[in-house]
Structure 1
Amino acid sequence: MAGLVEGGIGDNLNTVLRGIIPGLNTMDTPVHPSHSSDNRSPANDSTIIDISTDEGGGGDEGDTDQGGNGAGGGQTVPEMRGLRSILDRTILFILLLAVKILIDHRLGLFVVIGLVGTFFHHNGNLKQQVILKAKRKIFSLIIMLVFLLFNIFFVYYIFSDQHLYRSLIFCQPVYETMDFWMLLWIVGITDFMIKYMTIAVKGIVTILPRRCLSFKRRGKIYLLIEQFSQMYRTLTPMPIWIQYLSNDPETHWSINYGLVLLYVIFKAGSLIDKLKEVRAATKGICFDVQYGVHLSKGEPPVNGQACPICQDDYTDPIQLQCKHIFCDECVSLWFDRERTCPMCRAKVADDPTWRDGNTSLYVHLF
């Protein structure tokens, strides 16, 4: 009887607590033996009330939220895998398209590779021969000239139906349709042909004997040839681009001529810069640059009886501002490649670009 009364009271108390404090956990839980002060029967255990605090309930909710966030985070894994799969397929398609383009334009690709390789070979060979001065190999330079002229003739002969040589005189080549790729092809071929001609002209200057042209002045000649070449290569693409921008039947004439006007304005700035460079190179030939003070025959050299550059007796010795002495011709050739003294690295000369026989690799596509 007492057990029934206690059980009923316990049930009623749980019901009341659930109504008053919803956050309380009134679920019946068994009591651990270590928490019990006496030995009760299993029937009596049901009357013990386990009231959890808010922290426990909050912990349950937190666990639930964390589980939800974990599930949400887990959903990003399939999305990332799907994105990676799409990227993989896209890259494969791009590679497939690139292979198709290479196959369709294999002749042009082989020509471009041959042009670039030929340019690097002969440009490097010319620079080496310029450094050798009197020890240059005349026969090697003659072979280079013949090979360059043969390459120019061969390219124009292979594509004779397009009359690409007309671009050299600012005329339009022959083509069926002028699209963007055809434009790049014509401009690129013309630019490389002018480069070959530039290297050939520099080769002729290198072959000239010393009595015709001193080695001291050749650097200025190389610079002038290069500046004229770059200005010419800046002008040759203009007729092709003007034709391409102005002849679009699907676009209104005002837009076409507006594009041409913007292009001409853009090119005008480049042409003005090139004209200034050509003018400066021309003045350099007319006026001899003095890197130091010429010494008289009676003055003893400061740094030994031999020139540090040529390791031979001084010829027309010149003393730089840093007090080091060299042959005038030797130090002039040195400053065609460097800006500093060979001994102490003190800055003496201006920018030596293009005075060493080098030709610009930059392709003037526009």
Structure 2
Amino acid sequence: MAGLGEGGIGDNLNSMLRGIIPGLNTMDAPVHPAHTTDNQSNTDSIIINIPTEGGGGDQGEGDPSGNNGGGAASIPEMRNLKTLLDRTLLFIFLLCIKILIDHCLGLFVIIGLIGTFIHHNGNLRQQVIMKAKRKMMKMITMLLFLLFNIFFVYYIFNDQQLYRSLIFRQPTYETMDFWTLLWIVGITDFMIKYLTIAVKGVITMLPQQVLTFKKRGKIYLIVEQFSQLYRMLTPIPLWIQYLSTSESHWCINYSLVLLYIIFKAGTLIDKIKEVSAATKGFCFDVQYGVHLATGGSTTGQACPICQDEYTDPIQLQCKHVFCDECVSLWFDRERTCPMCRAKVAEDPAWKDGNTTLYIQLF
């Protein structure tokens, strides 16, 4: 009964299980490879590495935690996605080059119109800030250049009769595709904005005896609001024609036109409300504070804005005193007190002579 000696039962059972299930070290404590002995290296055991789902390598490869899961399985797909994106970006780049080649003239014209608008819009704002020190010759040059640009664009594209869209009529095109529609709408939008800057320039050139600087901000606002309303109306006939003459069934075409009209009606109602508010604001003077009697506590003091003696001083809610005209012009650009930054006025948008760069495409 040698097999029943000390440790005999355990050794025999271990040998039997190893013969049945290779690679299973039953009843053996795990031993680090660095601590293995010569006797352990002579053991007739077979070790089989069974890869887990998505594994494909040693344990812990690709996963810092040592657990092979779904993240490792998605690595090949992620690599394929990266390759697909690289090829797609290359195709988009080639497509952009093709569009540039086919529409190079139109793109150059649009870029030129944007640059001209930004330049003259900034010049007008500077002249508005200068008030009585504005440069009349510079204003006249700006007006002539804007009018020349309008005439030049319509003259170059006279065969297309783009000016017809200003009076809500269709330019002369055999077919109205998407790119043609964007071209007509974009040109019309910039021409109206050029006219808007020209009108504001004429207002800026008026002498103070005709129109005080205090009221000009309200007029700039009215001009801008009417300009934006007009720019919202001019694309309507173009989009109705484009949506109603597609190759789809007539029911789908008229459904698209109806949805467009409903959407456009909502935006037009909001804009009409803004125009009405701007008009009412011009009829009533906004009081930013309490007018003080000339002299008294303001005698010998200077307005913090103009650095001159007070003219028709006004005290704001924050107790700071300024000239009425100075603080009115200040609130045409800002909404807070020049001294303590307390909020006093509402949004001063478009009162400084600025014209929006936003292109009304629909």
Q: Sort the TM-score into its range (normalised by shorter chain).
A: 0.7 to 0.9
User: Do the aligned partners of residues 253 and 319 (structure 1) sit closer, same or farther apart at CA in structure 2, a change above 3 Å counting?
Assistant: same
Higher alpha-carbon deviation: 93-102 or 226-235: 93-102
**What is the TM-score of this pair, normalised by structure 2?**
0.83
CA distance in 1, matches of 2:39, 2:123: 97
Q: Which amino acid letter does the alignment assign opposite residue 132 of structure 2?
A: A
Alignment TM-score, normalising by the size of structure 1 = 0.82
Deviation at 1:294, TM superposition (A): 1.1
Q: Report the CA distance between 1:254 and its aligned residue.
A: 1.9
Which residue is 2:316 aligned to? Answer: 320
Q: 1:315 to 1:252 in 2, by over 3 A?
A: same
Q: Per the alignment, do residues 278 and 21 of structure 1 end up closer, same or farther by CA in structure 2, a change over 3 Å counting?
A: same
Residue 301 of structure 1 aligns with which residue?
298
RMSD: 3.0
Residue 67 to residue 163, structure 1, CA distance change in 2 (3 Å): closer
Deviations 1:154-183 (A, max 9, x none): 111111111000000000111121001101
In 2, the alpha carbon distance for the partners of 1:68 and 1:211 equals 85
Contact 1:130 1:206 in 2 (8 A): yes
Output the CA distance in 1 between the equivalents of 2:291 and 2:54: 88
Unpaired segments ≥5 residues, structure 2: 1-10, 25-36, 63-71
Q: Which has the higher helix share?
A: 1
Deviation digits for residues 247-282 of structure 1 (CA, Å, limit 9, x no counterpart) = 12x322222111111111111111111110111010
Structure 2 residue 322 is matched with structure 1 residue 336: no
Q: Secondary structure at the match of 1:319?
A: strand
What is the aligned partner in structure 1 of residue 20 from structure 2?
22
User: How do 1:39-118 residues align onto structure 2 when only pairs under 5 Å count?
Assistant: 60-61=47-48, 63-65=49-51, 69-71=55-57, 81-118=79-116
Matching residue of 1:175 = 173
Residue 265 of structure 1 aligns with an amino acid whose one-letter code is: I
CA-to-partner distance for each residue in 1:6-57, whole Å, 9 max, x for gaps? xxxxxxx99xx6599613679xxxxx7889xxxxxxxxxx9xxx586xxxx7
Residue 318 of structure 1 and its aligned partner are, at CA, apart by 0.9
Greater gyration radius: 1
Q: 1:81-117 CA distances to partner (integer Å, 9 max, x unpaired)?
A: 5544443333222212211110111100100000000
Query: Is the 1:24–1:51 Cα contact (8 Å) retained in structure 2?
Result: no
Distance 1:149 1:344 in 2: 43
How many residue pairs were aligned? 328
Mapped partners of 2:119, 2:150: distance in 1: 15
Structure 2 vs 1, CA of residues 258 and 299 (structure 1 numbering), >3 Å: closer, same or farther? Answer: same
Note the residue ranges of structure 1 that are not aligned, 5 or more in a row. Answer: 1-12, 27-31, 36-45
Contact 2:166–2:188, Cα closer than 8 Å, also in 1: yes
Q: Is this contact kept in 1: 2:221–2:350, CA < 8 A?
A: yes
Alignment of 1:172-251 (within 5 A): 172-248=170-246, 250-251=247-248
Mean alpha-carbon deviation: is it higher for 236-245 or for 96-105?
96-105
Deviation at 1:70, TM superposition (A): 2.5
- Alignment of 1:268 onto 2:254: no
> Given the alignment, which residue of 155, 175, 183 partners 1:157?
155
Q: Is the 8 A contact 2:315 2:321 kept in 1?
A: yes
SS for the counterpart of 2:55 is helix
The secondary structure found in structure 2 opposite 1:226 is helix
